[in-house]
């Protein structure tokens, strides 16, 4: 199953210069918990219920604070063709509840943790098993950080300082070795992440197979019941015909002899 199969296509959006009060009215009107901030028809941020709570708790005035001042700008997005298990894993890794769906830079939908499929018991069971493993939690944390912009900024600073301070001469053999080792470990963590997504896909497939088997069993029971009903109907029909035949050959009370 892919994101496009369950995403909500009618996404409620708002402009960055709108106030929190206006955003709150949208949330209430559409019974949603998040609104995407657009700029030039492209998603630039997102506002959720938690942002409202934080604003009010800090003494902010929703009527005076604009959405652009407090929105989350580091958006985590997916494409419509993304596997649903991968999307669910993204939400788990980044601890988010809403996932904008983007295609060619345009907002085409949104996923919410409230979607029944994302709350699938099979997926929740896999997540619970991973949370109980310290190694799995460590791998998830490293994978999430390695796929973020702070990871890129950290390496830019690291390489700049290393070269600027001339910690070693060109061609930077030690730096190359360190980066190579890092790449090996990161590749391992990527494989772990893929295995995790495969485990979720397998859990969904197993659950769907169980449902297919259950439905097939129900169909067989219905077929057996239908056959029994058909046999019973035939028996009733035969009995009815036989009864009518006996009634036709029986002399009615009060009538004797042959008609004149």
CATH number of the domain encompassing residue 26: 3.10.580.10
Report cis status (omega within 30 of 0) of the bond before 150.
no
Question: Could you give the CA distance from residue 3 to residue 219 in angstroms, rounded to a whole number?
Answer: 30
> Taking the model in full, what pTM does it have?
0.47
Question: Could you give the CA distance from residue 52 to residue 208 in angstroms, rounded to a whole number?
Answer: 39
Residue 236 lies in a domain: no
Q: By residue range, what is the domain housing residue 146?
A: 121-224
Using DSSP, state whether 101 is helix, strand or coil: strand
Question: Could you give the CA distance from residue 95 to residue 50 in angstroms, rounded to a whole number?
Answer: 13
pLDDT tens digits, residue range 112-137? 877 655 555 556 566 666 666 677 77
User: Does 140 lie in the same domain as 106?
Assistant: no
User: Does 84 lie in the same domain as 103?
Assistant: yes
DSSP state of 252: P
User: Does 149 lie in the same domain as 107?
Assistant: no
Residue whose entry in the numeric block shows the structure tokens 């939908």:
109
Residue 229 lies in a domain: no
User: Does 100 lie in the same domain as 7?
Assistant: yes
Residue 254 lies in a domain: no
Straight-line distance from the first to the last Cα atom of the chain, in angstroms, rounded to the nearest whole number: 84
pLDDT tens digits, residue range 103-112? 888 888 888 8
Q: Which residue has the higher pLDDT, 180 or 241?
A: 180
Residue 66 lies in a domain: yes
Q: Last residue of a domain, which of 58, 86, 112? A: 112
Residue 235 lies in a domain: no
Residue whose entry in the numeric block shows the structure tokens 């070269």:
163
Locate 31 and state its tokens.
Answer: 């019974």
- Structural domains of the chain, count: 2
Residue 106 lies in a domain: yes
């Amino acid at each position: 199953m892919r994101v496009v199969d369950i995403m909500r296509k009618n996404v409620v959006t708002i402009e960055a210069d709108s106030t929190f009060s206006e955003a709150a009215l949208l949330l209430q009107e559409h019974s949603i918990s998040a609104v995407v901030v657009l700029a030039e028809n492209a998603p630039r941020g997102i506002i959720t219920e938690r942002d409202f709570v934080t604003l009010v708790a800090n003494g902010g005035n929703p009527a005076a604070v604009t959405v652009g001042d407090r929105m989350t700008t580091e958006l985590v997005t997916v494409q419509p063709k993304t596997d649903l298990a991968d999307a669910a894993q993204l939400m788990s890794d980044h601890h988010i509840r809403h996932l904008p769906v983007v295609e060619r830079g345009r907002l085409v939908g949104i996923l919410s943790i409230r979607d029944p499929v994302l709350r699938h018991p099979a997926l929740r069971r896999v997540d619970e098993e991973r949370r109980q493993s310290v190694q799995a939690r460590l791998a998830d944390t490293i994978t999430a950080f390695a796929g973020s912009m702070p990871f890129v900024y950290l390496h830019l600073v690291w390489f700049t300082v290393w070269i600027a301070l001339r910690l070693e001469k060109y061609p930077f053999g030690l730096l190359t070795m360190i980066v190579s080792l890092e790449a090996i470990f990161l590749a391992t963590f990527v494989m772990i992440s893929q295995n995790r997504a495969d485990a979720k896909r397998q859990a969904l497939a197993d659950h769907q197979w169980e449902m297919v088997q259950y439905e097939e069993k129900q169909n067989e029971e219905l077929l057996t019941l239908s056959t029994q009903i058909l046999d019973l109907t035939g028996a009733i029909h035969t009995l009815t015909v036989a009864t009518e035949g006996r009634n036709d050959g029986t002399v009615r009370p009060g009538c004797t002899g042959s008609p004149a």
